[in-house]
C-alpha cells in the first residue's frame, strides 16, 4: 500500500465484518478527504450502517485496517474513537431525557471541582458552544422534551464539545421534517466549512447529491464504486445500488371516479393536537396529509383510529358506524393504521414474524380460544409472501428482519384485516429503496381495490407521487386542500410554512 496522501483523513483498507453467518462487509476500501462530506449509500442491509459503526468505533472489523491521519487505529469503543476525535450521530438520538440539554452535551465531561458539577461553568460552556455552532437551543430545557431534530442538535453539540474532527451521521434526517432537514443541511455545510470531515449515511439521494463531495455506493457488503458526487445523479446511484435500473419510482396514479362514494367522513374532529378537522375520504382515493412535524398529522391519524381520545366531532365509515373509540373497534369496522414508529407502536420485536402478522386477526384463526397453528401458519405465509417479506424464516423473531421487511410485516397485518380505510403514517421511514417501491405499489393496489387511504409523509416526494388529493395541516388544523394538477411542492410548502417562517426554531 502506498503512503496516504496528506488530505486523506480517513482510510479503510479491505475491511470485513460478519454477524453470525451473514457477511455484512467484505473487502471494503475507501478513503475520505479532510474537510469534505463523504456519503455512503445503498439499500438497507447493504452494509453502510455497519461501516459507519466501524468508523465510529461501535463495532470492530473482523479483518482489514482503519487508518486515521496516516495512523492505523483500532478503536475498541466509541469512547476511544472520541479520544481520536471521531464521533457518531445516530438516527435515533441518544439523550438522557431527564437531564437538561447542557448536561447532555457535557455528559461525562462536566466541569467539576472535587466531583461536584459546577453548574455555572456548565451553562457558560454550553452557551459558548451553542453560539459557535450557531444553534438556538436553550441549555436548561430537559432533553426528553425536545423534538427529534433538536435532540440531534444535542448530539452534534456533544460531538463538537469533544472537538470531534470526523463525524459519522447515520440517517440524520430520516426523522426530520422538511424544514428541520434544511436546517441540518445548513449545519453540515457549516461544519465542513470549519474543516470537519463528515461521513454521511443516507437514503435520501437528493440530500446526498446536494451535500457530499464524494459518494460510495455499497451493495451486499461490497463497494460498487466511489465517485465524485458531481458525476452522479439520482438514477445513476439507484442503478448502482440495485444493480439494475429502476423505472419511475412511483406507480401511475389512478384517481377515483367523481362518483366514488365516501368511505370515511370526518366532521369537526377535535382531539389532542387536532383543532377541528373536517374532510371526506372516497373509495379508491389516496389522500395525502402534508405538514411540518408537530402540525398534528400523527395526532389526526391516532384520533381517527381511536388510539387517542376524541374530545368532540365524529368519524364515521360509509355504513354509518362511528369510529374513534378504540383501535380494536376501528379494526373490526374496517379501519386499519400503520403507525408512525414500527418499533414503538407496531411490532412485538421478540415474537415471530408470523405472530406479528396475525396479531390483529388471531380470533379468526382460532376455535374456542385455541389458536389453530396450521391455519395460522398458512394464512400468514400467504399474506407475507404477497407482501414480499424476505430476509428471515417466518418463525424467526421479527427483529431479525431489516427495516423495510419489518414494515412489510405491518402491511401484511393490515392486509389480513381487509380494511376499507387504511391510515399509513410515515410508511416508508427508514426503509430501503426496494421496499419503498413495494410499499408504494401496495398502497396503490389497495386503493385500486376500492379502499380509501390516508397517507401521512414527511417526504414531500411521496405525497406528490402518490396522493390524488392533499390536505395540508398546520397547528392542528387543515389549512389547505389541493387536488389534481394543483398539487405541487411550492403550494404545499407555502401552506405548511405560512406565518411560521420565524417561529420554527423556537
Partner 1 sequence: MNAAAAKLVARGRLDTRALTRLRRVGILIPFVILFAVLSLTSESFATKTNLLNILDQQSATLIIAAAGTLVLVAGGIDLSVGATYSLAAVTSAHFALHTNPAVAIALGIGAGLLVGIANGVITTTFRINALITTLAMSFVVSGIAGLVTKGNLLVLFEKPGFGKFARTEFLTVRTSIWLMIVAVLVIGFVLSSTTAGRYMYAAGGNAEAARLAGVRVNAVRILAFALSGGAAGLAGVIDTSRVLSAQASTGDTALAFTVLAGIVVGGTSILGGEGAVWRTVVGVLFIALIGNGYILLGLDPLYEQITMGVILLLAVGLDALTRRTG
Interface with partner 1 (CB under 8 A) = 19-20, 53, 58-59, 77-79, 94, 96, 99, 103, 107-108, 110, 305, 307, 327-328, 331-332, 337, 339, 344-351, 355, 359-360, 362-363, 366, 369-371, 373, 399, 413
User: Which one-letter DSSP state was computed for residue 256?
Assistant: P
Which triple of cell numbers denotes residue 391? 430476509
Q: Are 43 and 67 in contact (CB under 8 A)?
A: no
Closest to partner 1 by CB, 292 vs 335, is 335
- For 294-319, letters b (16+ CB in 10 Å) and e give bbbbbbbbbbbbbbbebeebebbbbe
How do strand 8-19 and strand 116-117 relate by DSSP bridges?
unpaired
Question: Cα separation of 494 and 229, whole Å?
Answer: 30
Q: 170 - beta bridge partners?
A: 201
Closest to partner 1 by CB, 36 vs 379, is 379
Q: How far is the CB of 263 from partner 1 (least distance, A)?
A: 19
User: Which one-letter DSSP state was computed for residue 264?
Assistant: E
Closest to partner 1 by CB, 60 vs 311, is 60
Helix/strand/coil for 111:
coil
Closest to partner 1 by CB, 58 vs 466, is 58
Q: How far is the CB of 361 from partner 1 (least distance, A)?
A: 9
Closest to partner 1 by CB, 328 vs 393, is 328
- Nearest Cα to 351, choosing from 402, 304, 399? 399
Q: How far is the CB of 251 from partner 1 (least distance, A)?
A: 27
Helix/strand/coil for 1:
coil
- Nearest Cα to 89, choosing from 198, 211, 172, 176? 172
Q: How far is the CB of 257 from partner 1 (least distance, A)?
A: 32
Closest to partner 1 by CB, 103 vs 426, is 103
Question: Cα separation of 496 and 304, whole Å?
Answer: 21
Altogether, the residues listed in the chain come to a count of 506
Question: Cα separation of 283 and 43, whole Å?
Answer: 34
Q: How far is the CB of 462 from partner 1 (least distance, A)?
A: 22
Q: How far is the CB of 355 from partner 1 (least distance, A)?
A: 7
Instruction: For 200, list phi and psi in degrees, rounded to 5.
Output: -110, 120
Closest to partner 1 by CB, 106 vs 279, is 106
Q: Are 97 and 150 in contact (CB under 8 A)?
A: no
Closest to partner 1 by CB, 332 vs 491, is 332
Q: 168 - beta bridge partners?
A: 88, 199
Closest to partner 1 by CB, 292 vs 331, is 331
Q: How far is the CB of 157 from partner 1 (least distance, A)?
A: 15
Q: How far is the CB of 481 from partner 1 (least distance, A)?
A: 28
Neighbouring CB atoms inside 10 A of 401's CB total 22
Q: How far is the CB of 172 from partner 1 (least distance, A)?
A: 17
Amino acid at each position: 500500500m502506498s503512503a496516504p496522501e496528506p488530505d486523506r483523513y480517513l482510510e479503510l483498507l479491505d475491511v470485513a465484518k460478519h454477524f453470525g453467518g451473514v457477511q455484512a462487509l467484505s473487502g471494503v476500501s475507501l478513503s475520505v478527504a479532510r474537510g469534505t462530506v463523504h456519503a455512503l449509500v445503498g439499500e438497507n442491509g447493504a452494509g453502510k450502517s455497519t461501516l459507519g459503526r466501524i468508523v465510529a468505533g461501535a463495532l470492530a472489523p473482523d479483518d482489514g485496517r482503519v487508518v486515521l491521519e496516516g495512523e492505523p487505529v483500532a478503536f475498541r469503543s466509541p469512547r476511544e474513537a472520541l479520544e481520536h476525535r471521531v464521533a457518531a450521530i445516530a438516527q435515533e438520538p441518544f439523550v438522557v431525557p431527564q437531564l437538561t440539554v447542557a448536561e447532555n452535551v457535557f455528559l461525562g465531561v462536566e466541569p467539576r471541582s472535587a466531583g461536584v458539577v459546577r453548574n455555572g461553568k456548565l451553562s457558560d460552556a454550553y452557551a459558548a458552544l451553542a453560539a459557535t455552532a450557531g444553534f438556538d437551543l436553550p441549555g436548561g430545557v430537559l432533553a426528553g422534551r425536545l423534538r427529534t431534530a433538536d435532540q440531534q442538535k444535542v448530539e452534534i453539540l456533544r460531538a463538537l464539545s469533544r472537538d470531534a474532527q470526523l463525524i459519522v451521521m447515520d440517517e440524520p434526517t430520516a426523522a426530520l421534517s422538511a424544514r428541520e432537514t434544511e436546517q441540518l443541511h445548513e449545519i453540515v455545510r457549516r461544519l465542513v466549512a470549519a474543516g470537519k470531515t463528515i461521513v454521511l449515511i443516507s437514503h435520501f439521494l437528493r440530500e446526498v447529491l446536494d451535500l457530499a463531495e464524494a459518494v460510495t455506493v455499497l451493495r451486499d457488503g461490497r463497494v460498487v464504486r466511489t465517485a465524485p458526487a458531481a458525476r452522479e445523479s439520482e438514477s445513476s446511484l439507484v442503478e448502482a445500488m440495485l444493480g439494475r435500473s429502476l423505472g419511475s419510482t412511483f406507480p401511475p396514479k389512478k384517481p377515483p371516479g367523481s362518483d366514488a362514494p365516501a368511505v370515511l367522513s370526518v366532521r369537526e374532529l377535535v382531539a389532542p393536537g387536532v383543532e377541528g378537522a373536517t374532510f371526506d375520504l372516497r373509495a379508491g382515493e389516496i389522500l395525502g396529509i402534508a405538514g411540518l412535524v408537530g402540525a398534528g398529522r400523527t395526532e389526526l391519524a391516532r384520533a381517527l383510529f381511536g388510539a387517542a381520545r376524541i374530545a368532540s366531532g365524529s368519524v364515521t365509515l360509509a355504513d354509518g358506524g362511528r369510529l374513534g373509540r378504540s383501535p380494536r373497534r376501528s379494526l373490526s369496522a374496517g379501519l386499519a393504521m400503520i403507525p408512525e414508529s414500527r418499533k414503538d407502536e407496531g411490532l412485538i420485536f421478540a415474537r415471530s414474524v408470523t405472530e406479528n402478522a396475525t396479531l390483529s386477526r388471531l380470533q379468526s384463526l382460532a376455535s374456542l380460544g385455541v389458536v389453530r397453528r396450521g391455519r395460522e401458519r398458512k394464512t400468514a405465509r400467504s399474506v407475507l409472501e404477497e407482501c414480499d417479506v424476505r430476509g428471515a424464516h417466518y418463525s424467526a423473531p421479527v427483529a431479525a428482519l431489516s427495516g423495510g421487511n419489518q414494515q412489510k410485516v405491518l402491511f401484511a397485518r393490515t392486509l389480513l384485516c381487509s380494511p376499507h380505510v387504511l391510515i399509513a403514517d410515515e410508511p416508508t421511514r427508514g426503509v430501503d429503496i426496494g421496499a419503498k417501491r413495494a410499499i408504494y405499489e401496495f398502497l396503490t393496489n389497495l386503493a385500486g381495490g376500492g379502499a380509501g387511504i390516508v397517507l401521512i409523509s414527511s417526504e414531500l416526494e411521496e405525497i406528490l407521487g402518490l396522493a390524488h388529493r392533499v390536505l395540508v395541516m398546520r397547528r392542528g388544523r387543515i389549512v389547505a386542500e389541493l387536488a389534481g394538477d394543483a398539487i405541487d411542492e411550492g403550494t404545499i410548502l407555502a401552506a405548511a410554512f405560512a406565518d411560521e417562517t420565524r417561529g420554527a426554531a423556537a
